[in-house]
């Protein structure tokens, strides 16, 4: 009996994670590539923030509409379909170098990527609740590890011509191939049950805030950090490495999250990671030099990229398996709201003395205060037996 159950469990986890890693390599390269190649296509660099917000607006729309796709075609084919749509949105960009076309392409790409996130997250959140943190750590490690490798493409492959697009297409097609041809088991799509508005309102508020702030910060980092580094006089060759350090910090923190969750409440954990981000940004202002900047970006990556996995795990705590797809949609929707607004607000900070770092400092400091207060209230209710 045991021998028949173990292999499917391994296959169920490995196939989506491998495909996600390949997607992440392509996505990491593309997200940093877009702001840098605007001038190569005679597009105004001022639209970088709008392109980022358009993408996250699509993410927001997708977060509300993916559940029927999962129910109809299942997890594996839904994942492959979303990647196929993403390939098409990228293909039109070098063919039609026009602002409106790129904005629409990024909007549709956001819808497709929302499908990727909801499908993989809900796929991995099914199963033993005690192992969810580990499976989410594996998910985040694949996502951020692939993104880190993708960032290196800026220096290794460049930002001009068709070669970057060829590299991105190759990784995405390989990911689709893994999903379609590798053997895998997937949860029953019929298990998905919608949450009512009343049930959604009862989801952990700190988890929702954590997802919103994750979007506010990550949307700005992906959309504007390359421009922020250019404004600081960083060369293209070093820019890719510094962006990779952010993602490496994100990877490094993933094994720590399930370990720290055993000793600290998840709300308090989000507060501490926000304080780590505040300290990292303070370091960039206090110490000059590319090495200090690199160390700060590594710590910043640890802090910011820890928020989403902690928040979504908190939201799904003690939640019935049938509600997981809908719960992940709600969390992704919250993340997307922040991601749409974040780049537009952060764009106003780029002209200031502290640039994007000033925006991130304000977001993380305010969040740390909120989470500390929420953690104290939660502990007080637990002691009172509520």
Residue 225's closest CA among 385, 6, 36, 27?
36
Average pLDDT for 224-253: 82
257, 137 Cβ separation under 8 angstroms: yes
The CA distance from 260 to 110, in Å, is: 32
**3-class DSSP assignment, residue 127:** coil
The answer on pLDDT for 14 being more than 90 is: no
The CA distance from 78 to 121, in Å, is: 13
171-203 pLDDT, tens digit per residue, is 999 999 998 888 766 666 555 555 556 666 667
The CA distance from 151 to 280, in Å, is: 21
Residue 226's closest CA among 97, 23, 38?
38
The answer on pLDDT for 380 being more than 60 is: no
41-94 pLDDT, tens digit per residue, is 888 877 887 887 788 788 878 877 777 777 777 778 888 999 999 999 999 988
pLDDT at residue number 28: 85
The answer on pLDDT for 329 being more than 50 is: yes
Which of 188-202, 204-218, 264-278, 336-350 is predicted least confidently? 188-202
pLDDT at residue number 218: 86
Sequence length of the chain is 386
In this prediction the pTM is 0.70
The answer on pLDDT for 24 being more than 80 is: yes
The CA R_g of the chain, rounded to the nearest whole Å, is 20
Look up tokens 């939640």; give the residue.
319
120, 195 Cβ separation under 8 angstroms: no
The answer on pLDDT for 10 being more than 50 is: no
Structure tokens at 298: 């590594």
pLDDT at residue number 274: 95
Confidence label for 130 from pLDDT (cuts 50, 70 and 90): low
Establish how many alpha carbons lie within 13 A of residue 14's alpha carbon, considering only the half-sphere containing its beta carbon. 10
pLDDT at residue number 343: 80
The CA distance from 306 to 249, in Å, is: 10
Structure tokens at 364: 């993380």
pLDDT at residue number 191: 53
The CA distance from 134 to 148, in Å, is: 20
Which of 12-21, 248-257, 324-333, 369-378 is predicted least confidently? 324-333
């Amino acid at each position: 009996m045991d021998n028949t159950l173990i292999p499917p469990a391994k296959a169920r986890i490995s196939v989506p994670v491998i495909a996600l890693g390949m997607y992440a390599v392509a996505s990491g390269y593309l997200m940093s590539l877009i702001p840098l190649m605007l001038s190569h296509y005679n597009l105004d660099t001022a639209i970088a923030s709008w392109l980022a917000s358009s993408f996250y607006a699509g993410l927001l729309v997708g977060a509300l509409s993916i559940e029927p796709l999962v129910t109809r075609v299942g997890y594996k084919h839904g994942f492959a379909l979303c990647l196929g749509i993403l390939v098409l949105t990228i293909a039109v960009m070098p063919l039609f170098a026009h602002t409106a076309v790129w904005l629409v392409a990024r909007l549709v790409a956001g819808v497709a990527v929302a499908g990727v996130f909801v499908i993989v997250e809900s796929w991995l959140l099914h199963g033993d609740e005690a192992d969810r943190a580990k499976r989410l750590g594996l998910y985040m490690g694949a996502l951020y590890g692939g993104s880190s490798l993708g960032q290196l493409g800026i220096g290794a492959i460049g930002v001009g011509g068709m070669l970057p697009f060829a590299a991105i297409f190759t990784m995405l097609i390989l990911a689709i191939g893994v999903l379609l041809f590798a053997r895998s088991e997937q949860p029953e799509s019929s298990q998905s049950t919608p949450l009512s508005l009343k049930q959604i309102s009862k989801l952990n508020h700190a988890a929702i805030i954590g997802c919103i702030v994750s979007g506010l910060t990550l949307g700005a980092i992906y959309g504007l950090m390359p421009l922020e580094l250019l404004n600081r006089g960083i060369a293209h060759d070093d820019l890719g490495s510094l962006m990779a350090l952010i993602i490496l910090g994100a990877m490094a923190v993933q094994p720590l999250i399930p370990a720290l969750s055993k000793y600290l409440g998840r709300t308090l954990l989000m507060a501490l990671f926000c304080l780590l981000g505040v300290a990292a940004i303070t370091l960039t202002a206090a110490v000059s030099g590319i090495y200090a900047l690199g160390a700060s970006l590594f710590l910043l990556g640890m802090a910011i990229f820890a928020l989403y996995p902690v928040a979504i795990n908190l939201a799904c705590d003690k939640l019935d398996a049938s509600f997981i797809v809908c719960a992940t949609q709600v969390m992704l929707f919250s993340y997307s709201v922040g991601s749409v607004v974040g780049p537009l607000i952060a764009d106003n900070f780029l002209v200031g003395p502290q640039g994007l770092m000033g925006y991130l400092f304000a977001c993380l400091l305010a969040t740390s205060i909120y989470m500390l207060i929420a953690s104290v209230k939660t502990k007080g209710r637990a002691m009172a037996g509520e």
